[in-house]
Every structure is written in structure tokens, then in C-alpha cells.
Amino acid sequence: MNIIFEVLHQALGLLFHVTGDWGLAIVLLTIIAKLALLPVNLKQKNSLAKQQEMSKQIEALKNKYKHNKEKLEVELQKVYTKNAGNIFGGFAGFIQLPILISLYRFFIVMPVEGTTIILPWILKLSLPDPYYIVPILVTVIQLLPNILVSLGVLRDSGIMKLSVGNILPALLMSVFIVVKAPIGLGLYFLTSAFFSAVEQICFTIYVKKAYSVQ
């Protein structure tokens, strides 16, 4: 992880040299990291979507052959064989954990004292947001896919509607991490949350259709 940490340090310095703004450098570094992890994320989402479809098929077979256990076992085996690769596809997300942990560590100890045009009310990126604007934005953006489902904008997406179950984790993360964290880390979470929300929405609308279970 020290190697990843050093790469991030050098990359942030280079981006600051190009942009002249630490906030823009953080946003660009986060986007670059998220783009690098995009193939892994899409593979994981595709695998989870197929697992959800497989669960529906299994439930349908159980209802269809509830009085014929032998036939049910045969049909279930066909489904498991067909989707064998997808069962382990969800573990692809673990590949990105070392990178995400390094990003988190990096932004916590990041030696940045400057300001940014992105957040003009911030005096130093090493200080927390005094008005809690960034934590609120992080929470709202994290819940954006759920909000769109609740409003009926996204249909048949597999994304849960807005509820206490998905609001609570977002609120807890904002309260315990973003509220007291340096604004540099908050800017990373804000950019990451926005990228992830757009990624999830685009996957739901377009990519999921291309990888639909046959």
C-alpha cells in the first residue's frame, strides 16, 4: 500500500501543477481513480444483476416443480451450471479494496493547507466544513439512485426505494466521517459519491440491458 500511497502523492502534485488548485487536483485524482476501477465495478454490478435474475429463476422453478423434487433438482442444476461464473463475479469488488483504503489514508494525512475555487467558503482544505454543506451533499448524492427510484424515474432497476434502511448508512457515514474530516477528504467523498451515483444510474439504464441474462 505504500507504493499506492506514493503514486497518489505524486499524481496529486502533478495535477496541482497543472490546475493550480488543490480542490480541482483532488477532484481530478478521484475521477481518474474511479475510472481506473470502472471495469471492475461494472463487472461486479453485472454479476450482481445476473445473480438477482438467477434468484428469480430459482423461485419460479420452486413454484413450478414444488410437487416434483427430482425434476426441480435437475432444473436447478441447469441454472447453477449456466450461472457458475456469475456466482464468483461479485468478489471482483474486493480487488479495489487496497486502492480505496490507500485513497482514504492518503486524503486523511494529505499535507494540503490551500483553498479551492470549488468551495469558496473554505479557508483551508485541512479543516472540516464549518457549514456542513459537503456532508449534506454527500448524503443526498449517495441516495440519488434511491430517490430516482422512489420518484418513478428509474423503473425495474433492482435499486431499493428510499427508506430508513438505505438512508441510515449514508447519514452515519456523513456524521462520523465527513463532518469531522478535513475538507480535502470530504471533497474526495463528494466526488466519489457523485461518480458512483452516475455510474449506478447509467448501468441501470444502459449497461444492464446489454448484459441481461439470457
**Inter-residue contact 111 to 182 (CB < 8 Å):** no
Q: Could you identify the residue written with the cell 474526495?
A: 188
Residue numbers of the domain that contains 70: 2-210
Residue 86 has pLDDT above 60, yes or no: no
> In the chain, count of helices (H) and strands (E)?
10, 0
**Inter-residue contact 212 to 157 (CB < 8 Å):** no
Angle at 100 between CA 211 and CA 22, to 5 degrees: 115
pLDDT 10s digits, 101-112: 776 777 777 666
Assigned C-alpha cell, 213 = 441474462
Q: Could you identify the residue written with the cell 430516482?
A: 148
Tally the domains of the chain. Answer: 1
Nearest to 51 by CA among 2, 15, 92: 92
Residue 212 has pLDDT above 70, yes or no: no
Looking at residue 158, its pLDDT comes to 59
Cα(77)–Cα(42) distance, integer angstroms:
27
Q: In the structure, what pLDDT confidence band is assigned to residue 87 with cuts at 50, 70 and 90? A: low
pTM of this prediction? 0.78
HSE toward the beta carbon, residue 122, CA cutoff 13 A? 24
Cα(200)–Cα(25) distance, integer angstroms:
24
